[in-house]
Chains A and B, each alone.
Chain A
Amino acid sequence: MKFTLSWLREHLATEADLPAIADKLTALGLEVEGIEDPGAVLAPFTVGHVKSAEPHPDADRLRVCVVETKFGEVQVVCGAPNARAGMKGAFAPAGSHIPGTGLDLKKGVIRGVESNGMLCSEREMGLSDEHQGIIELPDHAAVGMPVAEVLGLNDPVIDIALTPDRGDCAGVRGIARDLAAAGLGTLKPLAAARIEGRFPSTIGVRFDFPAGAGAPCPLFAGRLIRGVRNGPSPKWLQDRLRSIGLRPISALVDITNFFTMDRARPLHVFDADLVKGDLVLRLSRPGETLDALNDRSYTVETDQVTIIADDSGAVSFAGVVGGVSTGTTGDTVNVFLEAALFDPERTAETGRALGIDSDARYRFERGVDPEGTIPGIEQATAMILELCGGEPSALVVTGAVPEWRRRLTLRTGRAAALGGLDVPADRQRRHLEALGCQVEAASADSFAVVPPSWRPDIEGEADLVEEVLRIEGFDAIEPVSLPRLGATTAPAVDARQKAASRVKRALAARGLSEAVTWSFMDSRVASRFGFQSQALRLVNPISSDLDVMRPSALANLIQAAGRNVDRGLANPCLFEVGPVYRDATEKGQLRVAASVRQGMTGPRHWAAAPRPVDVFDAKSDALAALEAAGGPAANAQVTTDAPDWFHPGRSGVLRLGANVLAHFGEIHPAVLEALDVAGPVAAAEVFLDAVPVAKKKPGSARPKLDLSAFQPVSRDFAFVLDADEPADKLVRAAIGGDKALVSAVSVFDVYQGAGVPEGKKSIAIQVTLQPRERTLTDEEIEAVARKIVANVEKQTGATLRG
């Protein structure tokens, strides 16, 4: 919402200067977004009086002028043909920035005569292309006066961001009222007008809304004015509209625009001679068309748009834009003036459906003062009669002012209790009355308040408290720190939130950097990562490559890794802890920790040769994440049924029975090819919600540390077993050989090839025995070894390698 300072002053008598007004507007919630001062660039130019203009001794076309300025008398050499003694011009002293040339003016000597400034043309001042001569200012302009002021260009344009609840401030008068209420001046009275109709309108108005449509147009007032002259509007009106960026069109249209901006009272004018029959307000019929005054044609697709129609069909989208067929022109002699009330929601929907933003829509969708309808049409009639002449008909009024009075209770203590600001009751009353509320004492400590017709947003006590605080200023509210709940700080996160944080930091410590990628992705890619639920396909995606909610975080990370490689960053390692979606329900959103390593395990190095990343890098990322999440990393079983975006032979699932904790493995080369990312890529996905949270035992004490006083001993074994038998099974069997004594089993060699039969492999393990009661004898060690071998052979079909 734009307006100028002088326009505001038409409604507000105030001594306040622009900065004070701007600060108060913002403090009132009418946030000043910008102030543009067209006079600012003209600041160096002041009125100069040319006392003498003698021919230059050495140049026929130049004159040497003595100019009386605010700096005293200054000699200026001027080439303008109209420079002459006695005139008043725009003087700029040496050093001034000349907007028209973009240069700083220098003191100079022109053909031997000193020149200490400049008398400027309109072009030099950046006002127009006029450069025939210097600008001539009126005689009454006083020497030294800013030229911007003389030319009326010193009117700053104030732009405020209007919140959707403040339709009343979509007019300059509403803004003035708020400022006045806040003590920044007084609201000037508005001349009431009551125009006597001289004849009945020949155009009638009727409503034809279906039952159940609500009240698309509660009130419509119209009036025929005969014999108008619709020429250009007067300069003051044109200037006013131009100052806020509106193009003057004709007196009748300019008057409607003026009321829209000045009173937030949209109006419309029909050329009465072009209206066929009466005007009917009704809902649209699908397929109906309108050539609108914004030079575009529209076809309505719904039956929910409020239409003003005549016998020929639609002539206006009510409250949004009028039609060309009944529009006024310079030839208009008889005009039908409309002032109506349109339903905010329906107007907004109409504007949205048709894609039309208009000044009328802006106001109707925020709510227009219902009580301003009749006074508005009367005042507009008065202005039309004044500017265009003519003879008014009686008003045609259809419908009625809808009931807007609400009696609200304001407990005077609420300003302090809710607002944190103790405001004396009489002061609260004064503020509310200044805003147009009717206030009566309802009890010893409460008021009955009826908000004004232009403030439909004031609906309850909290709104009244806000009004009081707004006028006092939120700055007046004393900040109070929240009272502490306890002497020390209690934990703010629960076990799962803490686990997510720990997982992030554990993975980062392992060399992976945290990425945050979109929750959505390309459906064509998603289909390769198990996308199933059509309920996760966005109805209105922002682009076709972000059209579904992601079923996995891996695709985004793999693509990000690919982008890093393309940038020349080798071996990217990335992770993300975030949501993936199985379906659109609450339980369908899972929190995963996803990790991706691409390329080699590190850069080429003189001492540590890197190798390509593989499934075991992914497995250890998965186990690290599980461990950081407090999960049973050591107990998890490994199965080989990872989803099909993994390499079928180099991937696995960590699980506790049916509960899948993680997928890990190398990404399937076909998937990488589809994503256009070079392999190998080792990836893991840990399902953090699936990790069982250890039950919190009372207290923080750890179990007693049980250290054996006896030396552990270790023995190595090599077994030959079927090549597809999992090593994990062998390890578990070795542990099972003597659960009391075996404290650790590690695999230190896996071999296939010469010396091992076809289809078999050799696995070597080191078994650590931890005696608890006494040192083991050789015989005891031998006995345990035999038990281990027997169990491994029984469980896995392996044989001890000779």
Chain B
Amino acid sequence: MSDLNRLRDDLMAAVADAGDLRTLEELRVAALGKKGRITQEMKTLGGLDPETRKATGQALNAIKDEVAEALEARRSLLARAALDARLEAERLDVSLPARPEETGRIHPITQTMEEMIAIFAEMGFTVAEGPDIEDGFRNFTALNIPPNHPARQMHDTFYLPPRAGAAGDAAEVVLRTHTSPVQVRTMTSVKPPIRVVAPGRTYRSDYDATHTPMFHQIEGLVIDEATHMGHLKGCLIDFARAYFGIEDLPLRFRPSFFPFTEPSAEVDIGCSRAGGELKLGNFGDWLEILGCGMVHPRVLEACGIDSTRYQGFAFGMGIERPAMLKYGIPDLRTFFDADLRWLRHYGFLPLDIPSLAMGL
């Protein structure tokens, strides 16, 4: 038995001494392989008497298990050390910049329009659209601005060549000066009740610090049998407070004049201009943001709607100005420059999809 003990001790010492995985593998073969020392010893068991064979066999098995276990433990240790060494060799300077990926930006006009649509959607409006190139009837006459009316001149209209084969209003081709022709399109195609907003491009021949020849508006139209001016006020107050995120934002409705509404109002929001800085809120000063009114009976009639039964309101609001006010964009003209520095600064990430649930 002392031979066996020596065998065990030799093997265990060798395992403990093995410095790398290859040596360890050689050791395993030398001990447990087909010609390994333990295997050889096992083969000698056949020549022993049953008594001795049993005792020696058990002892050999114990040694075999013990050595196998030691080999595995050592292997695992050496493998871990080898991995550690490899990983150490793979070490990189992680302060290096990552591979470049650019995310583009959504233009403030798109974002603002979608914010406005999100709010008006909550109030039951759907989105209507119309073309940029309109005729004189839809842009003016149906809106109670007859030919030769001074208001027609006040619009700084862009004209395209008259439409051949048409006469009068229908021949007059203009770039729409407001989104109001979509009112006409809606009322001539849909029966009341109507609740639509119509965002889009509009055009006026005016170019200075506060005017661009192209700009955007959103039109609102509500037609039913009961909507009155209180609803107009409520709708726009609800809108402005949600859009600007100012719960107590005051709105002031002033009588004004638009040919297509009666009564008509201009709407101011509360602000402060103290120290040359514009701030929105209940500060006593006022800033005009939109025009509105109750749809003129003549407009209803021009669109084939019975003005003795139906009534409602309309409003028209710029997109750029509310965007400038909300996001602190100082200059209107920069909206159309496509300057990437401006877009990265004032633009929105594509995942910022406006929703009231997520907050505007």
Contacts and interface: CB of A to CB of B under 8 A. Distances in A.
Given A344-B150, A494-B127, A557-B338, A420 B214 contact: no
A513 B343 contact: yes
Contact of B256 (A31, A345, A507): A31
A457 B294 CA distance: 16
B161 interface: yes
A540 B265 CA distance: 31
B10 interface: no
A561 to B, nearest CB: 8
A608 B99 contact: yes
A508 interface: yes
A605 B161 contact: no
A584 B160 contact: yes
B288 to A, nearest CB: 9
Interface in A458-514: 460-463, 465-466, 469-470, 474-475, 477-482, 484-486, 489-494, 497, 501, 504-514
Nearest to A583: B133
Dominant secondary structure of chain B at its interface with chain A:
mixed
A219 B18 CA distance: 125
B133 A549 contact: yes
B114 interface: yes
A163 B255 CA distance: 10
Contact of A470 (B148, B255, B294, B347): B255
A352 B296 CA distance: 28
A405 B230 CA distance: 32
A507 B349 CA distance: 11
Contact of A509 (B103, B114, B150): B103
Interface in B244-264: 252-257, 262-264
A419 B350 contact: no
Contacts of B175: 519, 538
A539 interface: yes
Given A493-B126, A540-B159, A474 B253 contact: yes
B299 to A, nearest CB: 11
A519 B256 CA distance: 31
A567 interface: yes
Contacts of A569: 340-341
A320 interface: no
Contacts of B231: 420, 480-482
Interface string A27-57: 1110100000000000000000000000000
Contact of A513 (B104, B230, B232, B235): B104
B353 interface: yes
Given A421-B230, A480-B233, A462 B263 contact: yes
Interface string B72-104: 000000000000000000000000110111111
A520 B106 CA distance: 22
B279 interface: no
A164 interface: yes
A564 interface: yes
Interface string A511-535: 1111111111000000000000011
B3 interface: no
B344 interface: yes
Contacts of A586: 131, 133
B129 A420 contact: no
A627 B150 CA distance: 49
A226 B62 CA distance: 148
B192 interface: no
A97 B325 CA distance: 36
Contact of A352 (B153, B232, B262): B153
Contact of B106 (A365, A504, A535): A504
Given A462-B263, A462-B294, A492 B117 contact: yes
Given A460-B297, A492-B125, A469 B229 contact: yes
Interface in B182-214: 195, 197, 201, 203, 205-207, 213-214
Contacts of A538: 158-160, 175
Contacts of B121: 489-492
B104 A508 contact: yes
A581 B229 contact: no
Contact of A589 (B122, B133, B237): B133
A474 B254 contact: yes
A579 to B, nearest CB: 6
Interface residues of A, number: 105
A592 to B, nearest CB: 13
Nearest to B347: A513
A466 B173 contact: no
| Highest count of chain B CB atoms <10 Å: which of A163, A461, A508, A586 | A508
B117 A605 contact: no
B28 interface: no
A407 interface: no
Nearest to A518: B214
A477 B255 CA distance: 12
Interface in B148-175: 148-151, 153-154, 158-161, 163, 173, 175
Nearest to A366: B150
A464 B298 CA distance: 15
B161 A535 contact: yes
A486 B230 CA distance: 21
A436 interface: no
A462 B262 CA distance: 6
Contact of B254 (A26, A478, A501, A505): A26
A466 B105 contact: no
B277 to A, nearest CB: 20
Nearest to A548: B160
Interface string A747-759: 0000000000000
Contacts of B106: 504-505, 508, 514
A391 B107 CA distance: 73
Contacts of A478: 230, 233
Interface of B: 96-97, 99-107, 109-110, 114, 117-118, 120-127, 129, 131-133, 148-151, 153-154, 158-161, 163, 173, 175, 195, 197, 201, 203, 205-207, 213-214, 222, 226-235, 237-238, 252-257, 262-266, 294, 296-297, 311, 335-341, 343-344, 347, 349-351, 353
9 contacts: A478-B230, A478-B233, A484-B123, A492-B120, A539-B158, A567-B339, A574-B340, A581-B133, A586-B131
Given A31-B254, A513-B344, A514-B107, 9 more contacts: A31-B266, A419-B229, A462-B294, A462-B297, A466-B263, A504-B110, A540-B159, A561-B338, A586-B131
When A and B form their complex, which 7 residue pairs have the shortest distance between CB atoms, in order from nearest? A420-B230, A29-B255, A466-B263, A560-B338, A163-B257, A492-B121, A515-B338
